[in-house]
Amino acid sequence: MLRLDDVTLSVAGRPLLQGASAAIPAGHKVGIVGPNGAGKTTLFRAIRGELPLDGGDVHLPARARVGGVAQEAKASQVNLVDTVVAHDSERAALLAEETEDAARIAEIQTRLADIDAWSAEARAATILAGLGFDEAAQGRPVSDFSGGWRMRVALAGVLFAQPDVLLLDEPTNYLDLEGALWLEGYLAKYPHTVLVISHDRGLLNRAVGHILHLEDRKLTLYAGGYDTFARTRAERRAVQAAAAAKQARERAHLQSFVDRFKAKASKAKQAQSRVKMLERMEIVRAPEEEAVTRFGFPEPEQLSPPILRLEGASVGYGERVVLRSLDLRIDQDDRIALLGRNGEGKSTLSKLLADDLEVREGGRVASSKLRIGYFAQHQVDALHLEETPLDHIARLRPEEAPARLRARLASFGLGANQAETAVEKLSGGQKARLSLLLATLDAPHLLILDEPTNHLDIPSREALVEALAAYDGAVVIVSHDMHLLSLVADRLWLVKDGRVAPYGGDLEDYRGELLGLAPKAAKPEKPKAKPAKKANAAPQQPLTVKELRAEVQKCEARIAKIEGMRAQVAEKLANPDLYDDTNARDLKVWNEKYREIEAGLARAEALWEKAAEALERAEAAA
């Protein structure tokens, strides 16, 4: 068992953990979440023993091997398979040991058999293939690959070594969708303990069974994946907020009695009693308001469809043709996800659409007024590190006042402090938000996003989904985040074997394909539905003022009843015993009931609001 006992830790005088405790049984798969800068990566360093604790203890099982990806694989002339196999230091030491002692030779052979040493190359090749390296790539030297690919090699190495406690920090940031899905399955079956820092909801829902939440310098372990954690935490916060509000009303009532009667001799005893009640009352504090991240995309004007069309187009690099015979059309209301295995040409198609690559054959026909915003993975690295975000945007908008420029930055979550901070000192998420701002600055009609969520935390990803839903332009997106794709995309294009065509299934079908599950019957892409015109209906007679008042009263009674039900369920959920692992089934039932009541309350309030507005109009007209 990995145990953190009353851990206190600070970095550069800034407290990150204070009296934090958690116990993780052997073999558990745990996702670690929390606000950016809360100290998740620092926690990993403390577990590895790289940072001294200010207080408390980290307990690891005896002789436990702790492993993680600290940096990319070093460039060398060693091929990928041998580089990965070398991560098993015990195997390498046993094979290198020279002895003539027959007993020791027998021990070595037995141990090599125990650790499955003779299948090492095959196991390494399987892991490399899962992370996107084909057979030819596996035989090439590490130095042939860029930094992102060398990060995959390093990840393959630590997975191959199978440490007893595996620590992974944002492992999907350098993976495509196929690699991310493969990693989910691998981690779910990993034979030892896994702790993974991630903002990928798919991985946190499917690969782990618990969530360790770091907030306010404390650690809280929740059973279930991320969605279960989010619901449970929201419910706890709602219960805490309700309890704080109720106590505030009680205190106000008691204080009012004291203020009114403390000077009256006949009531002095009762007033003093209430003063003591106030003093004994343990304050219930409402949860702090969480910071809200938003993206404010400027709205483009409408163009006549199609805004972009490819007609028999081919594209490639040098003498190599990557994609051919492309017949594609994009309208301004399209939301398109590009699917396809690594190396099939998704990024090439993105560059062609963005007009960053020339058409070899055929044509690329775009509206004369078309503006395109292009966010690619490398653009975060292309920022000027010594400049501030304000410098970046001022260069593109020299005529705008500084206040307007700051407002633009603020609309992408870059406040006053970040606006004048050098880019090299910003977090990965802040750099990504700046790059998104620069890509959308001209109110593009077509927004092309190639892995936009790398380095974005979960609130920022949700904010991006909301912004794209409200955005009035076309979106073409490549992402390993299936949650994002499922919420944003309504069309799927498959890039495969040098062609691009509509994908016949949905995202779950595609996920099953990649994981080797039995596919469903293919479905042809449905044509975009046009809004249907409503048939003329006979006008309804408006309700009288009396009837509307009765309707309002009925809604108010309904709301009061539902709020009473909610209070009862909230009281049940406030019982700490309910959150023991032995009560998981009861907790699920009560959580579902609470959600149903919340949904019913929202509907009742909407009906009340509608009836109240109708009553106001009727009374004004009377």
Closest CA to 206 of 421, 442, 468, 515: 515
How far, in Å, CA of 416 to CA of 402, rounded? 12
Cβ–Cβ under 8 Å, residues 314 and 361? yes
- Asked whether 447 and 475 are in contact (CB, 8 A), the reply is yes
Structure confidence by residue, pLDDT tens digits, 382-396 = 788 899 999 999 999
- The predicted model scores a pTM of 0.70
Range of 611's domain? Answer: 545-621
Q: Are residues 149 and 242 in the same domain?
A: no
Rounded to whole angstroms, the Cα distance separating 156 from 414 reads 35
> Got the DSSP string for 264-283?
-TTTHHHHHHHHHHHHHPPP
Tokens 């991006």, residue located: 464
Per-residue 3-state assignment (H helix, E strand, C coil) for 115-146? CCHHHHHHHHHHHHHHCCCCHHHHCCEHHHCC
Q: What is the pLDDT of residues 311-324, one digit of tens each?
A: 999 999 988 999 99
Helix axis angle, 268-280 relative to 226-261, nearest 10°?
Answer: 160
- Co-location of 54 and 118 in the same domain: yes
What is the per-residue pLDDT across 97-122, written as a single tens digit (0 to 9) for each? 888 888 888 888 888 887 777 888 89
**What is the average pLDDT score of the chain?**
84
- Asked if residue 77 and residue 56 are part of one domain, the reply reads yes
Structural domain tally of the chain?
4
> Same domain for 471 and 598?
no
Task: Note whether 427 and 484 are same-domain residues.
Answer: yes
Confidence of residue 528 (pLDDT cuts 50, 70, 90): very low
* Angle 150-153-158 from CA coordinates, rounded to 5°: 130
- Distance, in Å, from the CA atom of 241 to the CA atom of 231, rounded to the nearest integer, reads 15
Question: Domain for residue 439, yes or no?
Answer: yes
Contact partners, residue 36, CB within 8 Å, separation at least 6: 427, 429, 457
Judge whether 302 lies within some domain: no
Domain identity same for 331 and 463:
yes
What CATH number should be reported for the domain holding residue 82? Answer: 3.40.50.300
Q: Is the pLDDT of residue 431 over 90?
A: no
Phi, psi of 63 (to 5 degrees): 60, 20
60 within some domain: yes
Q: Is residue 527 part of a domain?
A: no
Same domain, 248 and 317: no
Determine which helix (DSSP H) or strand (DSSP E) holds 218, and give its type and residue range: strand 218-223
Task: Report yes or no on 509 lying in a domain.
Answer: yes
Report phi then psi at 494, rounded to 5.
-100, 125
359 in the same domain as 479: yes
Same domain? 591 vs 458: no
Pair of tokens at residue 280: 């004994």
Instruction: Give the domain-ending residue among 180, 195, 224.
Output: 224
| C-alpha to C-alpha distance for 263 and 179, rounded to whole angstroms | 75
In angstroms, the CA 203 to CA 31 distance is: 9
Query: For the chain, how big is the Rg over CA atoms in Å?
Result: 30
Q: Is 521 exposed, middle or buried (0-12, 13-18, 19+ CB in 10 A)?
A: exposed
Q: Which residue has the higher pLDDT, 282 or 406?
A: 406
Boundary-marking domain end, from 207, 224, 241 = 224
Please check whether residues 217 and 235 belong to one and the same domain: no
Highest mean pLDDT among 145-149, 337-341, 511-515: 337-341
